[in-house]
Amino acid sequence: MRRTTLTQFLIERERAGRINADLRLLIETIARACKAISVRVNKGSLGGGGASVGVQNVQGETQKALDVLSNEILLEANEWGGNLAALASEEMENPSPIPTHYPRGEYLLLFDPLDGSSNIDVNISTGTIFSVLRCPHGHDGKPCEPDEQAFLQPGNKQVAAGFAVYGPTTILVVTVGDGAHGFTLDRETFSFALTHPEIRIPEETSEFAINTSNMRRWEAPVKRYIDECLAGKDGPRGRDFNMRWVASMVADVFRVISRGGIFMYPRDSKNKDGRLRLMYEANPMAFIVEQAGGAATEGRTRILDIQPKGLHQRIAVVLGSKQEVERVASYHP
Ligand code: AFP
């Protein structure tokens, strides 16, 4: 069976006037970098990727060799294409402007190079998450200096977002604002083939994903929602629920967009602002989930409407099947 490749898919979007050639090339370059990361992740212990490099990143987490390598792969792949003004990574304290010897483009790229990297050693899925914004223009009509301030735009300004999951297969999910579409890496042709077009999240489901070891620290609305799920058939929901937690957001979100459910990393008494990063995790995933017919909130506010205050800002995340997310939001006073 002949399937649409990512390149064909993007060219069709360009012909339809939805994206320009620069954005098409940018997404193709990110996809190419994800292939390279997938190969390295696949080497497992043979590649030494799970080893700690003994350095803490800006998030205070110990970096693994594969975190560093994935970051370098994405930086090197993207800095010379001429379509970016600057890049920002979860692994780097400050944004990285495009070196002056390369042409500067109109886009800003943010990425979490290897999400779920604590799972490398135990052969569980990891992934890459990315978000694309336009570099704002100043009063003179020229693009602004691509400093941290330029990146601090709400998620509803994203022009593209996506994530790769390095699991039993490598899957890339992409949105340019007209639905969410999934591509599987064909290891024979080494191209991404469209296998999950027009992903739609079922509105109502019976599966939740949350790290229940934090239960004692949750706020009342989240506790109420989970208690009601746990009460099963005899409780107020009148049905049994199932629980899944991979501890790689990419894998959990791919499951949620594939068969429905809710994913939550709420704020709690330890992580008062939440644990996940607004710019590298919450915004791109919220964009994809909404494009797949789901919803994403931090509890009271739609994630995509939050005005970021910092590049590495953390945020509470509740996303997935619309009715379930709306229920959690309705429990918040
Ligand atoms: P790492 O990249 O440090 O492994 O963090 C992954 C993550 O940001 C996200 O992908 C998971 O959903 C979440 O953290 C897992 O958190 P817990 O350690 O609390 O399970």
Q: What angle do CA 271, 321, 9 make, to 5 degrees?
A: 105
Closest C-alpha to ligand 1, atom 18: 247
Residue whose CA is closest, atom 12 of ligand 1?
249
61: pLDDT strictly greater than 90: no
What is the number of other CB atoms lying within 10 angstroms of the CB of residue 220? 10
- pLDDT of res. 53: 67
Asked if residue 41 lies in contact with residue 29, where contact means CB atoms within 8 angstroms, the answer is no
- Does residue 276 line the site of ligand 1, with CB under 6 A? yes
Q: Which amino acid is at 30?
A: I
Q: Ligand 1: which of 265, 312, 314 to mutate, most ligand atoms within 8 Å of CB?
A: 265
The answer for residues whose C-beta is within 8 angstroms of residue 325's C-beta and 6 or more apart is 262, 294, 295, 296, 297, 318, 319
**Residue ranges of the chain that CATH labels 3.40.190.80:** 207-331
Chain-centre distance for alpha carbon 55: 24
Q: What is the pLDDT of residue 47?
A: 75
Check: CB of residue 244 under 8 Å from CB of residue 123.
Answer: no
CATH 3.30.540.10 in the chain: give the residue spans.
6-196
* Greatest pairwise CA separation for the chain in angstroms: 66
pTM of the model: 0.96
Q: Which amino acid is at 320?
A: G
pLDDT at residue number 137: 86
Q: In CATH, which of 3.30.540.10, 3.20.20.210, 3.90.1150.170, 3.40.50.261 is domain 6-196?
A: 3.30.540.10
DSSP 110-139: EEEEEETGGGGGGT--EEEEEEEEEPPB-T
pLDDT of the residue at 49: 62
Q: Which class does domain 207-331 fall in? A: alpha beta
For ligand 1, mutation pick of 61, 249, 273 (most atoms within 8 Å of CB): 249
What is the whole-number distance in angstroms between the Cα of residue 48 and the centre of ligand 1?
21
Token pair recorded at residue 72: 């370098």
Average pLDDT over residues 60-77: 90
pLDDT of residue 76: 95
Considering only residues 46 and 24, tell me which one the structure prediction assigns the higher pLDDT: 24
DSSP 8-state secondary structure symbol assigned to residue 226: H
| Arithmetic mean of pLDDT over the chain | 94
